[in-house]
Amino acid sequence: MKTLTEEDQAVVDRVKELLQAAFDELTLKAASADKTALKKLIDKSLQYVDNADKYTEEAIRSLRRYMIWQFPYTRTQRRLRQR
């Protein structure tokens, strides 16, 4: 293995500093997700719950249980519990 000269080491050190500075400047983009389809599906599911008298108790109970499990601690869950 070749021994680096002081000049070579200085170049390596400078490149390391520049690379570290570039990494330090990196920032993640804010995550953005289109939740439109999910919201529509949740709203449609809530319509079934609103019309629970048209369905069997077992079916509505199963739907509520699934929705509460899937959407814990959300407005949807609070809305389901109020029915």
User: Is residue 76 in some structural domain?
Assistant: yes
Q: What is the band of 8 on the pLDDT scale with cuts at 50, 70, 90?
A: confident
Q: In sequence order, what DSSP letters do the residues of 16-65 get, joined into one string? A: HHHHHHHHHH--PPPP----HHHHHHHHHHHHHHHTGGGS-HHHHHHHHH
User: Is residue 57 in some structural domain?
Assistant: yes
DSSP for residue 54: G
Domain limits for position 55? 36-82
pLDDT for the residue 71: 65
User: Is residue 10 in some structural domain?
Assistant: no
Q: How many residues would you count in the chain?
A: 83
User: Is residue 4 in some structural domain?
Assistant: no
Q: Which of residues 45 and 12 earns the better pLDDT score?
A: 12
Q: Which of residues 42 and 11 earns the better pLDDT score?
A: 11
Inter-residue contact 49 to 83 (CB < 8 Å) = yes
> How many domains are contained in the chain?
1
The pLDDT tens digits for 13-67 are 899 999 998 988 888 887 788 888 888 888 888 888 888 899 888 888 888 777 7
User: Is residue 74 in some structural domain?
Assistant: yes
pLDDT for the residue 16: 92
